[in-house]
């Protein structure tokens, strides 16, 4: 992939499974949005997004990120992200642009 290329993935996840995106070494990506297919109680379920460095985990949103929300979140090989299918199977995804 090259600078300016679209980065995206959509995956069917089992309950409590993760969708992880960790760019290759020397690569940086700006994540601009997340998607989620699950509807609970008539409204879209919100996403859990975590950032990792291989040892530590920080939570960007734990059920607070509305699906189809847009952001500017930068990740690289050392600091990457994952989403979690909280409690039930679902289809989740992310999209963005490679910046380096």
* Cross-strand pairs, 18: 84
Nearest to 28 by CA among 71, 63, 60, 72: 72
Higher pLDDT, 90 or 62: 90
In sequence order, what are the beta bridge partners of 93?
Answer: 10, 35
Q: How confident is the model at residue 61 (pLDDT cuts 50, 70, 90)?
A: low
C-alpha 3/C-alpha 13 separation (Å) is 29
Distance CA 68, CA 46 (A): 10
- Domains of the chain as residue ranges with CATH: 6-98 (2.60.120)
Provide the pLDDT for residue 82.
92
When pLDDT is cut at 50, 70 and 90, the band that residue 68 belongs to is low
Average pLDDT, the chain: 84
The pLDDT value given to residue 99: 96
Average pLDDT over residues 67-78: 81
Q: Where are the beta strands (DSSP E) in 45-89?
A: 47-52, 57-65, 70-76, 80-84
pLDDT tens digits for 10-56? 999 998 899 999 999 999 999 998 887 765 544 456 678 889 998 99
User: Residue 60: how many CB atoms within 10 A of its CB?
Assistant: 17
> Is the pLDDT reported for residue 3 higher than 90?
yes
């Amino acid at each position: 992939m090259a600078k300016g290329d679209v980065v995206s993935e959509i995956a069917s996840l089992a309950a409590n499974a993760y969708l992880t995106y960790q760019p290759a070494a020397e690569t940086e990506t700006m994540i601009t949005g997340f998607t989620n297919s699950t509807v609970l109680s008539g409204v879209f379920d919100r996403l859990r997004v975590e950032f990792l460095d291989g040892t530590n985990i920080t939570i960007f949103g734990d059920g607070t990120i509305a699906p189809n929300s847009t952001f500017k979140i930068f990740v690289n090989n050392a600091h990457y992200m994952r989403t979690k299918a909280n409690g039930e199977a679902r289809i989740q995804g992310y999209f963005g642009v490679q910046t380096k």
